Amino acid sequence: MAKKKTEEQVLTEKILTKKNKTFPEWKKETLEKIQFDFFRGQDTELEEYVMKREMRQLIMKESKKLL
């Protein structure tokens, strides 16, 4: 069963269609740029988000072991 598209995704696809791009192409390009910026230390917000998420996951994983 296909996942229902969000309103944001539908609007993004309409914009991309006007620019002769597909959503998968745009997604790939966008993720590559974000990864490049992340690894060069140029996206501190993303770095902070990733670290918070990983800390939460580690805490959840370890707390389950204690229960």
| pLDDT of 2 over the 90 cut | no
**pLDDT at residue 42, as a whole number:** 92
pTM value is 0.66
Q: Do 23 and 16 form a contact (C-beta atoms < 8 A)? A: yes
Q: What is the DSSP letter of 40?
A: T
* Phi and psi, residue 45, nearest 5°: -65, -45
pLDDT digits (tens, 9 = 90+) for 5-61: 899 999 999 999 999 999 999 999 999 999 999 889 899 999 999 999 999 999 999
Domain residue spans of the chain: 38-67
Tokens of 36: 């490049």
